[in-house]
A and B are shown apart, each in its own frame.
Chain A
Amino acid sequence: MTSLLTPFHYEYMVKAILVSGLIGGVCAFLSCFITLKGWSLMGDALSHAVVPGVSLAWLLGLPFSLGAFVAGVLAAVGMGWVKNNSRLREDAVIGVVFTSFFALGLLMLSLYPSNLNLRTIIFGNILAISDPDILQVLIISAVSILVLGLKWRDLLLYCFDEAHARSLGMNTRFLHFLLLALLSATAVAALQTVGACLVVAMLVTPGATAYLLTDRFGRMLAIATVTGTLCGVIGAYASYFLNGSTGGCIVVLQTLVFLIALALAPKHGLLAARAQRRAAALP
């Protein structure tokens, strides 16, 4: 019994568990908008595109989340520009832009060796998170929660029916940018926990899971946030016993929950669909 409590004896474990839970929750809340807007690929792209920003921020002596955020927004703007000024489809544009940013980041990290470890950026290292970094994560989370809490209805309408939002006189360009900025900011925060490679899981999987389980947006937000937070907390806790990567634990846990939802969801699950097919075949 006492051995189950051992992780809590270590300050770094307690911090890791709390921060993972917080980031998991915030990312999950946002993931509802990302999945409904169809921006999952965009989330993946942005989380990779922040890498050169991290490296540049270190060279200039700035907080790394600032650099990452700027790089993320630049990448998003770049994608928008290329898409509007070429005949390429969106997926090709995203593919070209984010790999360019990521490659640039790798190049910079290798040319200007720093105390930034490439492994840390790509795979995350929540166990070694410093107090200033925790402060950054707290600020990002607080601002994101505040903005989402105030403007979620506008963002929901923007995701659902942009034309209607515009006809009501809403500034949809601002909402578009707001959602991109939130995406970049939370991607930066999640970079700490799970690393650039797995950020997209935090920003998509909880929303996708919740979408399978309900037809109401309010419930979707609640389910996603609870799943995201619990997976963050339990994943970080379990990583102590498994002695494995914290990011890996969190995302594998999220995936397990997703698979369970995919199979057992009451209305949109695989088993429910099979039951409906069978019922339809009855005379």
Chain B
Amino acid sequence: MIPQSATSPPLSIEVADVTVAYTNGHVALRDATFTLGPGTICALVGVNGSGKSTLFKSIMGFLRPAKGSVKIAGLDVEKSRKRQLVAYVPQSEEVDWTFPVSVWDVVMMGRYGHMNFMRIPRAEDKRIARECLERVGMSAFKDRQIGELSGGQKKRVFLARALAQQGRIMLLDEPFTGVDVQTESAIIELLRDLRKEGHIMLVSTHNLGSVPEFCDQVVLVNRTVLAFGPTEQVFTEDNLSRAFGGVLRQFQFEQSTIQEHDGRTVKLLTDDERPLVFGKDGHLEYTDRQGREELVKEREKEAGE
């Protein structure tokens, strides 16, 4: 979106040997190291409490590492913040959706750093805000109060705000939570376009299934950076089980579940918890099914007694 001037150093995130300890003594991250170059969509993957948000906060300069350093495009985080290089798309839970602001107001907030002391928008600011709204397909909702939007629309608004900020590094915290499938693919499409423009996107996600689809790099964290690099090298069963320990669920479908005459298909519904599996005839499938086919009927009988 903004042409890179000849003088500015190439875009990058360099996290070197970062250890973060909170005031209560809890060490959230130890010796974390990774580097990202321009034109990257990188997934940040790890269990809850593994230090993903700590990493985000360090990159934005909200936390001062006890040891190590974070550099954005070769600059200290303090300086990079003055240049507004890093835009942050918050998790939906972090936003007060009852706040009396409209979609337009929120996108305009992305422009504040480019405005004067009193934050009075110029024609240029309005034009960019309009463009960004258009880009996420939310122009029609410009005057809505933010609480009156669906989960996917809410996400798009904050994406538009990040675009309006024109930071070339974007941190997205759980962008797919509470988002419809259509929006999910729209967001992925947008991130791909931004990658072509040379931006760096760091996406924290629990949505493991979609990671290989759109992320070219992966950072695996568990209180430190376990592994980082190209997706095909890092996003392996071995590494993932190191990152998640026993937390990821494993399913083994038995012969009786995946039948030849059903075309060996099952339907799997999951919200990141234990999935619900429908086999032939639409009935419930579960592990160790053999010999326990009547499980559901037994429950029914119990309830009837």
Once A84-B23, A150-B117 are accepted as A-B contacts, the answer to whether A163 and B88 lie under 8 Å apart by CB is yes
Cβ A163 vs Cβ B100 within 8 A: no
Instruction: Report if B92 contacts A (CB, 8 A).
Output: no
Question: A269 CB to closest chain B CB, in angstroms?
Answer: 15
A164–B109 CB distance below 8 A: yes
Interface string of B83-117 (1 = CB under 8 A from A): 11011101000111001111001000100110001
Q: Mark A24-65, 1 if CB is under 8 A from B, else 0.
A: 000000000000100000000000000000000000000000
Interface string of A213-231 (1 = CB under 8 A from B): 0111101100000000000
Contact B112 A153, beta carbon cutoff 8 Å: yes
Known A153-B119, A168-B165, A214-B100; judge A163-B90 contact (CB<8 A). yes
CB contacts under 8 Å to A, within B106-153, are 109, 112-113, 117-119, 145, 147
A138–B276 alpha-carbon span in the complex (Å): 67
Using A153-B119, A157-B112 as known contacts, say yes or no to A166 and B99 having CB atoms under 8 A apart. Answer: no
Q: How far is the CA of A237 from the CA of B113 in the complex (A)?
A: 46
B292 in the interface, Cβ–Cβ < 8 Å? no
Residues of chain A lying within 8 A (CB to CB) of residue B100: 36, 211, 214-217, 219-220
Q: Chain B residues with Cβ under 8 A from A217's Cβ?
A: 100-101, 105
The answer to whether B253 has its CB under 8 Å from any CB of chain A is: no
Closest CB in chain A relative to B159 CB, distance in Å: 13
A residues within 8 A CB of B29? none
B261 at the interface (CB under 8 A from A): no
Residues of B within 8 A of A166 (CB): 60-62, 81
- Indicate if the CB atoms of A167 and B88 lie closer than 8 Å: yes
Pair A168/B84 contact, Cβ less than 8 Å: yes
Encode contact with B along A91-112: 1 for CB under 8 Å, 0 otherwise: 0000000000000000000000
Closest Cβ–Cβ distance, residue A204 to chain B (whole Å):
16
A160 near B96 with CB under 8 A, answer yes
Distance between Cα atoms of A159 and B112 in the complex (Å): 14
Q: Is the interface of A mostly helix, strand, loop or mixed?
A: helix
B95 — which chain A residues lie within 8 A by C-beta?
A: 161
Q: Is A170 an interface residue (CB 8 A)?
A: yes
Selected contact of A170 from candidates B86, B101, B112, B145, CB within 8 Å = B112
Residues 24-37 of B, flagged 1 when their CB comes within 8 A of A and 0 if not, give 10000000000000
B299 interface contact, C-beta 8 A: no
Chain B residues contacting A220 (CB-CB under 8 Å) are 100
- Chain B residues contacting A151 (CB-CB under 8 Å) are 118
User: Would you give the shortest CB distance from B167 to chain A, in whole angstroms?
Assistant: 8
Are B118 and A167 within 8 A (Cβ)?
A: no
* Docked CA distance A157–B99 (Å): 11
Known: A163-B62, A163-B94. A169 touches B82 (CB 8 A): yes
A90 at interface, CB cutoff 8 A: no
Residues of A within 8 A of B167 (CB): 167
Residue-wise interface mask of B (48-83) relative to A, using a CB-CB cutoff of 8 A (1 in contact, 0 not): 000000000000111000000000000000000111
User: Mask for A60-101, Cβ within 8 A of B = 1, else 0?
Assistant: 000000000000000000000000110100000000000000
Q: How far is the CA of A34 from the CA of B159 in the complex (A)?
A: 28
Is the pair A169, B113 in contact by a Cβ cutoff of 8 Å? yes
CA distance A164 to B111 in the complex (A): 11
Complexed CA–CA distance, A199 and B83 (Å): 41
The answer to whether A169 touches B90, judged by C-beta atoms less than 8 angstroms apart, is no
A167 touches B101 (CB 8 A): no
Residue on A with the closest CB to B118?
Answer: A150
Query: Which B residue's beta carbon lies closest to that of A213?
Result: B100
A166 to B109, CA, bound (A): 12
Residue contact A153 to B118, C-beta cutoff 8 Å: yes
Chain A residues within an 8 Å CB radius of B113:
168-170
B154 → chain A, closest Cβ, in Å? Answer: 13
- Residues of the B chain whose Cβ atoms lie less than 8 Å from the Cβ of A163: 60, 62, 88, 90, 94
With both beta carbons as reference points, the residue of chain A lying nearest to B59 in the complex is identified as A167
Please report the C-alpha to C-alpha distance between residue A170 and residue B60 in the assembled complex, in whole angstroms: 12
Known interface pairs A150-B118, A153-B112, A217-B101; 11 further A-B residue pairs with C-beta atoms within 8 A, sorted by A's residue number: A36-B96, A154-B112, A160-B96, A164-B109, A167-B60, A167-B81, A167-B87, A167-B165, A168-B81, A169-B84, A169-B113
Pairs across A and B, CB under 8 Å, 9 listed: A150-B118, A153-B118, A161-B95, A167-B60, A167-B87, A168-B113, A169-B113, A216-B101, A217-B105
Question: A residues bordering B, Cβ < 8 Å?
Answer: 36, 84-85, 87, 150-151, 153-154, 156-157, 159-161, 163-170, 211, 214-217, 219-220
Residues of B within 8 A of A (CB): 23-24, 60-62, 81-84, 86-88, 90, 94-96, 99-102, 105, 109, 112-113, 117-119, 145, 147, 161, 165, 167
The 8 closest A-B pairs by CB, nearest first: A215-B145, A168-B113, A153-B119, A169-B82, A169-B81, A217-B100, A215-B100, A167-B88
